[in-house]
Amino acid sequence: MSLLAETVRAIRPLDAAAMAAAHARHATLTKPPGSLGSLEDLGVRLAGLAGVNPPPLPEPAVVAVFAGDHGVLDQRVSPWPQEVTGQMVANFLAGGAVVNAFARQTGASVVVVDVGVAAPPVTSAENLIEANVRRGTRDLSVEPALTREEATAAVEVGIRVAADLVDRGAGCLATGDMGIGNTTPAAALIAAFTGAAAADVTGRGTGIDDETHGRKVGVVQRALALHRPDPGDPIGVLAAVGGLEHAAIAGFVLGGAARRVPVILDGVIADSAALAAAALAPDAVGAMVAGHRSAEPGASVALRHLGLEPLVDLGLRLGEGTGAVLAWPIVASAVRVLHDVATFDSAGVAEK
């Protein structure tokens, strides 16, 4: 059995008994019922994921920044040159990116995974995982971005990274990404899996002008018409219009779900990858936490399709894992309540 098949087979539904116990415990805590809103629902769901109430505290947290390049950049869908991907990888490793700053603030760790960067990293570091499947994708608007074998290999990179991080003690995984041009395949993936129109899911990425945005929408439309990706064949969709980092993040989500560890999704890249993960293993959605609502229009379409509500909405559109890292203390707080808050009986507080 392949690693992917083995992982999908290991993913199970949320534990109903643990969820019921968490829900019942919330009713005994020193607060009005339902007063913590969606945090209560999240705590209950994480109990179901862990299969025990209260669930383990989701810590420490590790954000894995999956990096890859894209042949579709030839279609001038971004004003940024391809070499920025590799340069930003070096910046992550040096600790100089926004995600590094947010990770220092929250106490999360950052690892970088080269799954498809066009130029080999110019530096090595303890937090760099070199797992390059190929040096960037092909141009999805003229041919499949990847072969099925390459797409599967990238998914399995993500599975292995998740498993390794959990084995090393991570209690919460967070997705990150880096890849100039990667919002174009993200839009194509979201359109393919949800049936939404290209124009409704294609955003402005790093802040492109109207002319470039119009060209980008056209590229996504052409790719969908050329490949006619079948959402019932998620590996085929990833191969036709995905990116190496998208495929690896899909595997990362599956790996976390198989280990019953929560995975906080970052922005539109992670949301598009999560659609692929859900298509491969529907029960994987139980491990997904939508960290924030990206300003990219496709993100809301993807999250709605997954049935996930984002924890914060700050108008972010950076990627890197920034929104996921910011959301992690909220996720931890949802579980901390079930551990630390006194009951009415134990605190001697009268109930209504």
CATH number of this structure's domain 61-329: 3.40.50.10210
Cα dihedral 42, 44, 46, 48, rounded to 10, equals -140
Helix-then-strand count for the chain, H and E: 15, 6
Does residue 191 sit in helix, strand or coil?
A: helix
Which amino acid belongs to residue 34? G
Bond from prior residue into 60 cis (ω within 30 degrees of 0): yes
Does residue 17 sit in helix, strand or coil?
A: helix
Q: Which residues are catalytic?
A: 320
CB 89 within 8 Å of CB 113: no
What is the torsional sign of CA 71, 77, 82, 86? negative
Please give the Cα distance from 307 to 13 (Å, whole number): 15
What pLDDT tens digit does each residue of the chain (352 aa) get?
899 999 999 999 999 999 999 999 999 999 999 999 999 999 999 999 999 999 999 999 999 999 999 999 999 999 999 999 999 999 999 999 999 999 999 999 999 999 999 998 777 899 999 999 999 999 999 999 999 999 999 999 999 999 999 999 999 999 999 999 999 999 999 999 999 999 999 999 888 999 999 999 999 999 999 999 999 999 999 999 999 999 999 999 999 999 999 999 999 999 999 999 999 999 999 999 999 999 999 999 999 999 999 999 999 999 999 999 999 999 999 999 999 999 999 988 888 7
Please give the Cα distance from 11 to 200 (Å, whole number): 32
* Residue range(s) occupied by CATH 3.40.50.10210 in the chain: 61-329
**Cα 145 from chain centre:** 20
Q: How far is CA 102 from CA 68, 329, 349, in A?
A: 22, 11, 38
Bond from prior residue into 234 cis (ω within 30 degrees of 0): no
Bond from prior residue into 13 cis (ω within 30 degrees of 0): no
Which amino acid belongs to residue 51? G
The class level of CATH for 3-56+336-347 reads mainly alpha
* Residue range(s) occupied by CATH 1.10.1610.10 in the chain: 3-56+336-347
Q: What is the pLDDT of residue 349?
A: 86
Residues 193, 318, 273: CA angle, nearest 5 degrees: 25
The pTM for the full model equals 0.97
Angle between helices 234-241 and 268-280 (to 10 degrees): 150
